[in-house]
Amino acid sequence: MNTLKIQNLTVEVEGKIILKDFNLEIKSGEIHAIMGPNGTGKSTLTKVIMGDPNYKISDGEIYFNDILINNMPVNERANLGIFLGMQMPLAIEGVTNADFLRSAMRAKNGDKFKLLPFVKKVDELTKMLHMNSDMLNRGVNDGFSGGERKKNEILQMYLLEPSVVLLDEIDSGLDVDSLKIVGESVMNYYKDKAPAVLLVTHYQRLLDYIKPDFIHIMNGGKIVKSGDSSLALEVEKKGYDKVIKEAKDE
Amino acid sequence: MNKIIIDNEKSLLVTSDGNLSFKTDESSKFLNVQNLNVKISSDTDLIIECTGNGDIKFDIYINVLEGVKANIYELKKDAVYKSQYKYYLEKDSYLNVQRVISSTSINDMTIINLNGDNAKVDYNLKTVCKSFEKYNYLVYHNARKTSSNIINNGVNILEGELEFNVSSFVPNDIKKCYVNQESRIINMTDNLCIIKPNLFIDEEDVIASHSALIGTFSSFEIFYLMSRGISKKESDRLLTKGFLMKGISYHKDDLKEIIDKYWR
């Protein structure tokens, strides 16, 4: 059982507070979806958990299985089993997917890394995700469409087998077919590995494929309302403004 | 395929396909400068490999004749170099130059004369700079519809001080030229690096552009790689490899060896 625990977290960027006194606990086998209007700190939350140095934790703690990770380097967090599927994965010209993924797998497996099983696994995953088989020889996300980039994130998730999965708007930029492939692939991974999942999304449509146990509505850098999957339907029906206003009135 | 080897004492054409002529003479015994003359008369590839200890000084004159397409792949290693390259491109000729450099020190002057209509040069330099390296370029568009694309990429490490000075000239009435300069230095030290991009253009009917950037790798790129468990050191190696290998088709293994030497 793995647990990601965020306690009283306050985060700022260039002097502006983005997350304020934020609390959340996610255990293995749980799917938490964070929803909310633009600019409420949803993406910031995932980046701070991953250790993006552009964000400064001014107060509070992030624990992974009781290990305080506030000051842990990004790669060490990843090697603990934390994975961030990014909203806008970067294109890195010149660095091939093959080199990138090999380095990531070597970092994870050390001397146990074997090239042939790795190539075979990538081949299986590209088929599963309906990606071009030549992607290994292309630059990381270089020339990839929005959909291909998101699929590449999911491919990396399958390779690295994380125990905590953070997915930041993994549905943005996807057409209906790609959304189905990505959504079902995440759910299959969840069924197989039972990770703790934190999902950031604006839309109910992703939740047709990924079924969260908990929905949290964020506003002003903190969770203002939590509930089960019916909360997403309520948001879809009423809109964020009304749901947030009702939460404040309660 | 042709191959010239240059060391401290001599220059030799060790392989030839008959598509170029090669002549050497010593311009100054006192200064110990080697003089090399290459005339490329048919489509071909030329490999230039320079290696040795101590000082190596040479001037090389390369003439690409009308309608000829040539690739020059150069590898420069180890020594202290002082060299001058003079290229003369005639009508409808094309020259592709790829240079891979890991020297002790370099002071280098390149003069490109695009003398015939439609002459075109693509130039790509990659260096790992560990001490002092200075590259000066003068690119003369002396005829219409000529094209120059000068790309310099360097990673500055250890005691490195790297400088690219690129000046391109298009006189009045030399119309429909394409002029591009792209220089980028990844500076992994606190030492001074310099890029001077100059476009001296006296003609309006020209497409000209330049970019010059000195800095480190993007923090976003580093974060992305590290978020997959890759260490900072390995992230730097991957980004360096990607940065330097781009556009290099011939001395790839040598370049990879150079990168591995400093980033392993």
- Mean pLDDT, range B147-175, rounded to an integer: 97
| Residue B27 pLDDT grade (very low, low, confident, very high; cuts 50, 70, 90) | low
> Where do the structural domains in chain A lie, given as residue ranges?
3-249
Which pLDDT score is estimated for A248?
Answer: 83
Distance CA B130, CA B153 (A): 14
pTM for the complete prediction? 0.90
Q: Cα separations (Å) of B43 from A151, A201, B67, B144?
A: 44, 58, 9, 22
- Mean pLDDT, range B207-235, rounded to an integer: 96
pLDDT digits (tens, 9 = 90+) for B60-109: 999 999 999 999 999 999 999 999 999 999 999 999 999 999 999 999 99
Instruction: Report residue B19 CA to chain centroid gap.
Output: 23
| Residue B52 pLDDT grade (very low, low, confident, very high; cuts 50, 70, 90) | confident
Query: Measured between CB atoms, which of A54, A92, A104 is closest to B242?
Result: A92
DSSP string of A190-231, one letter each residue: HHHH--EEEEE-S-GGGGGTS--SEEEEEETTEEEEEESTHH
Query: Measured between CB atoms, which of B219, B221, B241 is closest to A99?
Result: B241
Which pLDDT score is estimated for A194?
Answer: 97
- Label each residue of A104-150 as H, E or C: HHHHHHHHHCCHHHHHHHHHHHHHHCCCCHHHHHCEECCCCCHHHHH
Answer yes or no: CATH 3.40.109.10 is held by domain A3-249: no
pLDDT digits (tens, 9 = 90+) for A42-53: 999 999 999 999
pLDDT at A94 over 70: yes
Q: A51 contacts in B (CB within 8 Å)?
A: 226-227
Query: Looking at A124-133, B23-32, B91-100, B253-262, which range is the least confident one?
Result: B23-32
> Where do the structural domains in chain B lie, given as residue ranges?
2-216
| Residue B29 pLDDT grade (very low, low, confident, very high; cuts 50, 70, 90) | low
pLDDT digits (tens, 9 = 90+) for A109-134: 998 889 999 999 999 999 999 998 88
Q: How far is B252 from chain A (nearest CA, A)?
A: 13
pLDDT digits (tens, 9 = 90+) for A180-225: 999 999 999 999 999 999 999 988 888 989 999 999 999 999 999 9
Q: How far is B260 from chain A (nearest CA, A)?
A: 13
Q: A143 contacts in B (CB within 8 Å)?
A: none
- Mean pLDDT, range A76-92, rounded to an integer: 95
Which pLDDT score is estimated for B26?
Answer: 63
Chain mean pLDDT for chain A: 93
Which pLDDT score is estimated for B30?
Answer: 65
For chain A, which residues lie within 8 Å of any Cβ of chain B, measuring from their own Cβ? 50-54, 73-75, 77-79, 83-84, 86, 89-90, 92-96, 99-100, 103-104, 107-108, 139-140, 156, 160
For B239, the closest chain A residue by CA position comes to A95
- Mean pLDDT, range A93-104, rounded to an integer: 92
CB contact under 8 A, B228 and A78: yes
Nearest CA to B248 among B107, B103, B96, B121? B96
CB contact under 8 A, B239 and A139: no
- State phi, psi for A52 to the nearest 5 degrees: -55, 120
pLDDT at B38 over 80: yes
CB contact under 8 A, A96 and B242: yes
